[in-house]
Amino acid sequence: METTTPDTLSLWSLTIDGGYIMIPLALLLLVSIYIFIERCIVIGRASRDDDSFMKKIRDLIHEGDFESAENLCRKTDTPYSRLIKKGISRIGRPMNDVLVAIENTGNIEVAALGRGLSWLSTTAAGAPMLGFLGTVVGMIQAFFSLAKAGTGANITLLSGGIYQALVTTVAGLIVGIIALFAYNYLTSRINRVMNSMEAKTMEFMDLLNEPA
């Protein structure tokens, strides 16, 4: 069976020539893009920082108005405000209990921010492997066609089969690279949110240790 090679390369022709392995790769790419956009929106909301928040919390706690402080935390609705709210609800208990409660809430918040990142890391590692699998299968098919052609075999038959096989490798690498960069970018943004949460936690703990 002879392979018809297009005169020019295009994204569509490459996708078609890649064969059935391109289907799971396309699905991986679409899901990764969706997760990236959705997580960017979620992390962007979590990154909102109100410079006056801790000052208001400090004033309310000094006044002993814990209920208003908790209401302010609910209204702010960010990961660090939920940490502070948990800490306020534990005021009156030993400081270590307050800190543990805040840290546990922080772990939950970080896990929520990182939801879906395991898919990106899996795609970053798995997509190139799928591409290599498609290449190996394509090479087997190319050499099978070459052997089947017998004395009628020619270099065009072999080169066309190899060209098709290598398409899946390129596609797998592209999907894997996109997923890898998306994963690292989101991870760096989550780390910045974590640093902000830690800073707010230390500020809150220092507030509780201030003399009345």
Q: What is the pLDDT along the chain (212 residues), one digit of tens a residue?
A: 444 555 555 555 555 666 678 889 999 999 999 999 999 999 998 888 877 888 898 888 888 888 899 999 989 888 989 999 999 988 888 888 889 999 999 999 999 999 999 999 999 999 999 988 888 877 777 777 777 766 665 666 666 667 777 888 888 999 999 999 999 999 999 999 999 899 888 988 888 876 55
Report pTM.
0.80
Coil vs helix vs strand at 51:
coil
Print burial letters for 85-103: b (CB count within 10 Å at least 16), e (below 16): bbbbebeeeeeeebbebbe
Q: What amino acid is encoded at 139 in this protein?
A: M
Q: What amino acid is encoded at 192 in this protein?
A: R
- Helix axes 155-209 and 53-62, enclosed angle (nearest 10): 30
Whose tokens are 């066609």? That residue is 145
